[in-house]
Amino acid sequence: MPRLVLASSSRYRRQLLDRLELPYAWESPDIDETPRPGESPRALVHRLSLAKAERLAEAWPDHLIIGSDQVAVFEDEVLGKPEDEAAARAQLARFSGRRVSFLTGLALIDTRRGSHRVCHERFDVLFRSLDEDEIARYVARERPLDSAGSFRMEGLGIALFERLEGDDPNALIGLPLIRLCELLRVAGLDPLGER
Protein backbone atom coordinates (compact mmCIF):
# COMPACT_ATOMS: atom_id res chain seq x y z
CA MET A 1 0.00 0.00 0.00
CA PRO A 2 1.41 3.45 -0.89
CA ARG A 3 2.33 5.75 1.97
CA LEU A 4 1.57 8.85 -0.10
CA VAL A 5 -1.91 10.24 -0.88
CA LEU A 6 -2.81 13.07 -3.25
CA ALA A 7 -5.93 14.96 -2.14
CA SER A 8 -7.04 16.01 -5.61
CA SER A 9 -9.29 15.06 -8.48
CA SER A 10 -7.06 16.94 -10.96
CA ARG A 11 -5.60 14.77 -13.70
CA TYR A 12 -2.90 17.43 -14.18
CA ARG A 13 -1.72 17.11 -10.58
CA ARG A 14 -1.68 13.32 -10.92
CA GLN A 15 0.40 13.59 -14.10
CA LEU A 16 2.89 15.81 -12.28
CA LEU A 17 3.09 13.54 -9.24
CA ASP A 18 3.64 10.55 -11.57
CA ARG A 19 6.98 12.12 -12.53
CA LEU A 20 8.38 11.35 -9.08
CA GLU A 21 7.78 7.61 -9.66
CA LEU A 22 6.51 7.16 -6.10
CA PRO A 23 3.56 4.88 -5.41
CA TYR A 24 0.56 6.91 -4.27
CA ALA A 25 -3.18 6.82 -3.94
CA TRP A 26 -5.45 9.71 -4.79
CA GLU A 27 -8.88 10.76 -3.69
CA SER A 28 -11.01 13.83 -4.31
CA PRO A 29 -11.31 15.88 -1.11
CA ASP A 30 -14.66 17.44 -2.11
CA ILE A 31 -14.45 20.71 -0.17
CA ASP A 32 -16.14 24.09 -0.59
CA GLU A 33 -13.59 26.27 -2.39
CA THR A 34 -15.54 29.53 -2.10
CA PRO A 35 -13.30 32.43 -1.06
CA ARG A 36 -14.17 34.13 2.20
CA PRO A 37 -15.02 37.84 2.17
CA GLY A 38 -11.82 39.88 2.13
CA GLU A 39 -9.60 36.77 1.94
CA SER A 40 -6.34 37.44 0.13
CA PRO A 41 -5.26 35.09 -2.67
CA ARG A 42 -2.36 33.87 -0.53
CA ALA A 43 -4.62 33.17 2.46
CA LEU A 44 -7.11 31.42 0.16
CA VAL A 45 -4.59 28.95 -1.33
CA HIS A 46 -3.11 28.34 2.12
CA ARG A 47 -6.50 27.53 3.61
CA LEU A 48 -7.72 25.40 0.69
CA SER A 49 -4.54 23.36 0.20
CA LEU A 50 -4.51 22.50 3.91
CA ALA A 51 -8.28 21.84 3.98
CA LYS A 52 -7.98 19.41 1.07
CA ALA A 53 -5.31 17.38 2.85
CA GLU A 54 -7.15 17.57 6.19
CA ARG A 55 -10.33 16.26 4.57
CA LEU A 56 -8.59 12.93 3.89
CA ALA A 57 -6.52 12.71 7.08
CA GLU A 58 -8.90 10.55 9.11
CA ALA A 59 -9.36 8.04 6.30
CA TRP A 60 -5.60 7.72 5.69
CA PRO A 61 -3.78 7.19 9.01
CA ASP A 62 -0.02 6.67 8.83
CA HIS A 63 0.22 8.48 5.48
CA LEU A 64 1.64 11.63 3.95
CA ILE A 65 -1.22 13.55 2.37
CA ILE A 66 -0.62 16.21 -0.27
CA GLY A 67 -3.09 19.07 -0.72
CA SER A 68 -2.69 21.80 -3.31
CA ASP A 69 -4.74 24.71 -4.53
CA GLN A 70 -4.09 27.42 -7.07
CA VAL A 71 -5.51 30.80 -8.00
CA ALA A 72 -4.75 33.06 -10.92
CA VAL A 73 -4.55 36.77 -10.11
CA PHE A 74 -4.80 39.68 -12.54
CA GLU A 75 -4.87 43.29 -11.33
CA ASP A 76 -5.63 42.10 -7.76
CA GLU A 77 -8.62 40.08 -8.99
CA VAL A 78 -8.81 36.32 -8.45
CA LEU A 79 -9.69 34.79 -11.79
CA GLY A 80 -12.13 31.97 -12.12
CA LYS A 81 -12.61 29.40 -14.82
CA PRO A 82 -14.44 30.76 -17.85
CA GLU A 83 -18.08 29.75 -18.20
CA ASP A 84 -17.93 29.50 -21.98
CA GLU A 85 -15.74 30.26 -24.99
CA ALA A 86 -16.83 33.92 -25.10
CA ALA A 87 -15.70 34.39 -21.49
CA ALA A 88 -12.39 32.63 -22.26
CA ARG A 89 -11.77 34.94 -25.23
CA ALA A 90 -12.59 37.99 -23.09
CA GLN A 91 -10.20 36.88 -20.34
CA LEU A 92 -7.35 36.33 -22.79
CA ALA A 93 -7.98 39.70 -24.47
CA ARG A 94 -7.56 41.39 -21.07
CA PHE A 95 -4.21 39.62 -20.59
CA SER A 96 -2.74 40.67 -23.95
CA GLY A 97 0.69 42.18 -23.29
CA ARG A 98 0.16 41.90 -19.52
CA ARG A 99 1.22 39.81 -16.50
CA VAL A 100 -0.90 37.20 -14.72
CA SER A 101 0.31 35.75 -11.41
CA PHE A 102 -0.43 32.26 -10.18
CA LEU A 103 -0.30 31.44 -6.49
CA THR A 104 -0.15 27.78 -5.58
CA GLY A 105 -0.55 26.55 -2.04
CA LEU A 106 1.03 23.23 -1.09
CA ALA A 107 0.28 21.32 2.11
CA LEU A 108 1.74 18.07 3.37
CA ILE A 109 0.11 16.40 6.36
CA ASP A 110 1.89 13.57 8.14
CA THR A 111 -0.97 11.69 9.80
CA ARG A 112 1.46 9.36 11.58
CA ARG A 113 3.19 12.23 13.40
CA GLY A 114 0.19 14.57 13.53
CA SER A 115 2.12 17.37 11.82
CA HIS A 116 1.77 19.47 8.70
CA ARG A 117 3.62 22.04 6.61
CA VAL A 118 2.21 24.56 4.17
CA CYS A 119 4.08 26.68 1.65
CA HIS A 120 3.25 28.90 -1.32
CA GLU A 121 4.73 29.31 -4.78
CA ARG A 122 4.24 32.26 -7.10
CA PHE A 123 4.69 31.95 -10.83
CA ASP A 124 4.13 34.79 -13.32
CA VAL A 125 3.10 34.56 -16.94
CA LEU A 126 3.78 37.48 -19.29
CA PHE A 127 1.51 37.35 -22.30
CA ARG A 128 2.51 38.40 -25.80
CA SER A 129 0.38 41.03 -27.49
CA LEU A 130 -2.48 38.93 -28.82
CA ASP A 131 -4.97 39.77 -31.55
CA GLU A 132 -8.60 38.67 -31.62
CA ASP A 133 -8.06 36.04 -34.32
CA GLU A 134 -5.26 34.18 -32.54
CA ILE A 135 -7.22 34.29 -29.27
CA ALA A 136 -10.27 32.83 -31.03
CA ARG A 137 -8.19 30.12 -32.73
CA TYR A 138 -6.52 29.21 -29.44
CA VAL A 139 -9.82 28.94 -27.53
CA ALA A 140 -11.44 26.91 -30.33
CA ARG A 141 -8.51 24.46 -30.49
CA GLU A 142 -7.66 24.07 -26.78
CA ARG A 143 -11.10 24.70 -25.18
CA PRO A 144 -9.52 25.78 -21.87
CA LEU A 145 -12.84 26.13 -20.06
CA ASP A 146 -11.66 24.10 -17.05
CA SER A 147 -8.60 26.31 -16.46
CA ALA A 148 -8.42 29.48 -14.39
CA GLY A 149 -7.17 32.21 -16.69
CA SER A 150 -8.48 30.42 -19.81
CA PHE A 151 -5.23 28.75 -20.85
CA ARG A 152 -3.17 25.62 -20.29
CA MET A 153 0.58 26.03 -20.07
CA GLU A 154 1.00 22.28 -20.48
CA GLY A 155 -0.74 22.50 -23.85
CA LEU A 156 -0.97 25.00 -26.68
CA GLY A 157 -1.20 27.87 -24.17
CA ILE A 158 2.58 28.11 -24.22
CA ALA A 159 2.21 29.84 -27.63
CA LEU A 160 0.45 32.78 -25.93
CA PHE A 161 3.40 33.76 -23.73
CA GLU A 162 6.34 36.07 -24.05
CA ARG A 163 8.01 34.95 -20.84
CA LEU A 164 7.53 32.83 -17.72
CA GLU A 165 8.95 33.90 -14.34
CA GLY A 166 9.23 31.73 -11.25
CA ASP A 167 11.18 29.03 -9.50
CA ASP A 168 9.19 25.96 -10.54
CA PRO A 169 7.19 25.78 -13.81
CA ASN A 170 5.24 22.84 -12.37
CA ALA A 171 3.61 25.32 -9.98
CA LEU A 172 1.90 26.86 -12.98
CA ILE A 173 0.22 23.53 -13.73
CA GLY A 174 -0.84 23.16 -10.09
CA LEU A 175 1.71 21.14 -8.11
CA PRO A 176 5.12 22.68 -7.30
CA LEU A 177 7.31 19.59 -7.47
CA ILE A 178 10.53 21.21 -6.28
CA ARG A 179 8.90 22.29 -2.99
CA LEU A 180 7.01 19.01 -2.75
CA CYS A 181 10.28 17.04 -2.97
CA GLU A 182 11.70 19.23 -0.20
CA LEU A 183 8.65 18.60 2.04
CA LEU A 184 8.74 14.87 1.34
CA ARG A 185 12.43 14.64 2.25
CA VAL A 186 11.78 16.47 5.54
CA ALA A 187 8.96 13.98 6.22
CA GLY A 188 11.31 11.04 5.59
CA LEU A 189 10.29 10.09 2.04
CA ASP A 190 13.11 10.86 -0.36
CA PRO A 191 11.97 10.69 -4.00
CA LEU A 192 15.51 9.54 -4.92
CA GLY A 193 15.79 7.13 -2.01
CA GLU A 194 16.07 3.38 -2.37
CA ARG A 195 12.84 1.54 -3.02
CA separation, residue 149 to residues 118, 130, 152, 168 (Å):
24, 15, 9, 19
Active site residue 133: no
Q: Are 108 and 66 in contact (CB under 8 A)?
A: yes
Q: Are 118 and 105 in contact (CB under 8 A)?
A: yes
Q: In terms of C-beta density within 10 A (0-12 exposed, 13-18 middle, 19 or more buried), how is residue 56 classed?
A: buried
CA-to-CA distance for 154 and 138, rounded, in angstroms?
A: 14
Name residues whose C-beta falls within 8 Å of residue 158's C-beta, 6 or more positions apart in sequence: none
Catalytic member of 69, 110, 133, 167: 69
The residues that are catalytic are 69
